[in-house]
Amino acid sequence: MIVDELNKILNENSVKNDYRAELKEDYRVPLESVLRSAFDGINPHIIYGGSLAKGTPNRNSCDMDLLCYFPADCALSVESIYNGIAKALTDAHYWIEKKNSAICVKGDYNNYKWDISVDVVPGKYTQNENNEDVFLWCNRDRCRLKSNPEKQIGYVKNSKYKDLIRLVKLYRDNRNFKFKSFYLEIFVIDYIGENELEDNDTIYDQLVKFSSHFSDIGKVSLFDPANSNNNISDIHDDYENIIIRNQIKDLYDALLTNDERTIISIMNGESVDLNKAYEHDAISHSSALRLNMGQANVIITCNDEKGNSILSSQIIPKNVDLRFDVMCLGCYVEIESVHLIISNAGYESICCPRGKEETTEFDRYRRVYWRKETTLYNGNHYVQAIVRLKNKRTYYSMPFIVKIRDY
């Protein structure tokens, strides 16, 4: 089942306790020792930040954030703390890169490039007595910024959607596009979680509901939980938002097929064939359907309620009334029965897969067999005529594909 496979992906990419211990022993302990010894008499508060603290790490992208916050009564300015930590790390023979509010440690003199990178985030508490607000130094803008990373961490850590966030991050990393975790987290929790997700949703349901809002990414207002005045919607530029929306739409397209192999493939960053995926789903619940069988003398035509011709595989919206006409050229006198096999395919039609033979009516004036249907579910749905003659011969039409999209 798709839910089982998605949970398997989560489990295979989880950060186990032995790996956490390895990260602490090989990276955190040595770095923390440097940071504490460089500022004699000052005891900075050093804790994990990022995905390790939030409960959303994946093994393949588990970079480490170390928050290093100095007490409010420390005489050093925030800028001095930032530059002092950068110098201490350099003096200890670490390879570093100054980012805006963090110092990225990429390796040491024995190993130019580590398996992971560590972002050390210097800061200074705004006041003492259990206050969590801190000033961070913005190195590019040459100013300090008031924030509360510990509150941001708790906001994600205490949410119900950490597995969903992890799955989207895995997809992001496997498809290699930029989608900042902070924006992703708030989009999931505040926009999708509050408005869409229900307690009985499976992880598959959650992923579908998230990706269905691909067009909203970068367009809705989202606010930093540590600072309600900070709208983070512009965290990506227009070009980046277009890429993110296109990538999440690709995910949505694949998820709607309800085909396990296709969904796992796209989660792994592989290319997929949506038409084949829908075919596989349609066949899975219809033993009557014959997608590779069809005689030229059995023809299905389709029109909407206004009489407009609808072609097979033409994209049409939901809530359109259709009439299917079946003609069997040269064999009307011999016809015993005409049925339509209607097999719905895709996530939205799980509640109504159908797939059995269904009756038609005969139009004496037009000499066709017909049946009316209404488009209800996104997906590729298959209509195939089966004509039985009195001489016991059976003919199938080529399948007519009803391709419904409302997004």
In a domain, 5, yes or no: no
Of 124, 157, 190, the last residue of a domain is 157
In a domain, 10, yes or no: no
Reply yes or no on whether the pLDDT at 128 is more than 90.
no
Say whether both 235 and 163 belong to one domain.
Answer: yes
> Percent of the chain having pLDDT more than 70?
99
In a domain, 258, yes or no: yes
d(CA 256, CA 351): 13
Which residue range(s) make up the domain with 127?
15-157
d(CA 56, CA 156): 8
Reply yes or no on whether the pLDDT at 49 is more than 90.
yes
> What is the per-residue pLDDT for 129?
65
Question: What is the SS3 assignment for 359?
Answer: strand
> What is the per-residue pLDDT for 130?
67
> What is the per-residue pLDDT for 359?
97
Q: What share of the chain is helix, strand, coil (3-state, %, to 5)?
A: 35, 30, 35
pLDDT tens digit sequence for 263-319:
999 999 999 999 999 999 999 999 999 998 888 899 999 999 999 999 999 999 999
Reply yes or no on whether the pLDDT at 139 is more than 70.
yes
Cβ atoms 357, 288 nearer than 8 A:
yes
In a domain, 27, yes or no: yes
Give Cβ neighbours of residue 334 (< 8 Å, ≥ 6 apart). Answer: 389, 390, 391
> What is the per-residue pLDDT for 376?
97
Reply yes or no on whether the pLDDT at 402 is more than 70.
yes
> What is the per-residue pLDDT for 380?
98
Q: What is the mean pLDDT of residues 385-404?
A: 95
pLDDT tens digit sequence for 306-339:
999 999 999 999 999 999 999 998 776 689 999 9
Question: What is the SS3 assignment for 357?
Answer: strand
Reply yes or no on whether the pLDDT at 75 is more than 90.
yes
Give Cβ neighbours of residue 87 (< 8 Å, ≥ 6 apart). Answer: 38
> What is the per-residue pLDDT for 185?
97
Say whether both 74 and 202 belong to one domain.
Answer: no
> Percent of the chain having pLDDT more than 90?
83
In a domain, 68, yes or no: yes
**Identity of the amino acid at 17:** N
> What is the per-residue pLDDT for 205?
98
**Identity of the amino acid at 323:** R
> What is the per-residue pLDDT for 293?
86
Q: Of residues 146 and 8, which shows the higher confidence score?
A: 8
- Pairing of the two strands 227-231 and 315-316: unpaired
Of 250, 272, 294, the last residue of a domain is 272
Say whether both 130 and 185 belong to one domain.
Answer: no
Say whether both 389 and 291 belong to one domain.
Answer: yes
Domain total for the chain? Answer: 3
Global pTM exceeds 0.95 = no
pLDDT tens digit sequence for 170-200:
999 999 999 999 999 999 999 999 889 999 9
Read off the pLDDT band of 5 (50, 70, 90).
Answer: very high
Of 112, 134, 157, the last residue of a domain is 157
Helix (H) or strand (E) holding 362: strand 361-363
Say whether both 311 and 254 belong to one domain.
Answer: no
Say whether both 245 and 379 belong to one domain.
Answer: no
Say whether both 25 and 150 belong to one domain.
Answer: yes
In a domain, 9, yes or no: no
Q: Of residues 140 and 201, which shows the higher confidence score?
A: 201
> What is the per-residue pLDDT for 194?
86
> How many CA within 13 A on the CB side of residue 348?
18
Q: Of residues 110 and 218, which shows the higher confidence score?
A: 218
Read off the pLDDT band of 1 (50, 70, 90).
Answer: very high
Q: Which residue has the tokens 């600072």?
A: 227
Say whether both 38 and 143 belong to one domain.
Answer: yes
> What is the per-residue pLDDT for 332?
63
Q: Which of 98, 20, 88 is nearest to 57 (CA)?
A: 20
In a domain, 1, yes or no: no
Q: Which residue has the tokens 């029965």?
A: 337
Say whether both 134 and 165 belong to one domain.
Answer: no
Say whether both 364 and 286 belong to one domain.
Answer: yes
In a domain, 238, yes or no: yes
Q: What is the mean pLDDT of residues 220-242?
A: 92
> What is the per-residue pLDDT for 222?
96
| CATH code of the domain containing 390 | 2.60.40.10
Taken in order 326, 332, 334, 336, is the CA torsion positive or negative? positive
**Identity of the amino acid at 334:** E
Say whether both 174 and 252 belong to one domain.
Answer: yes
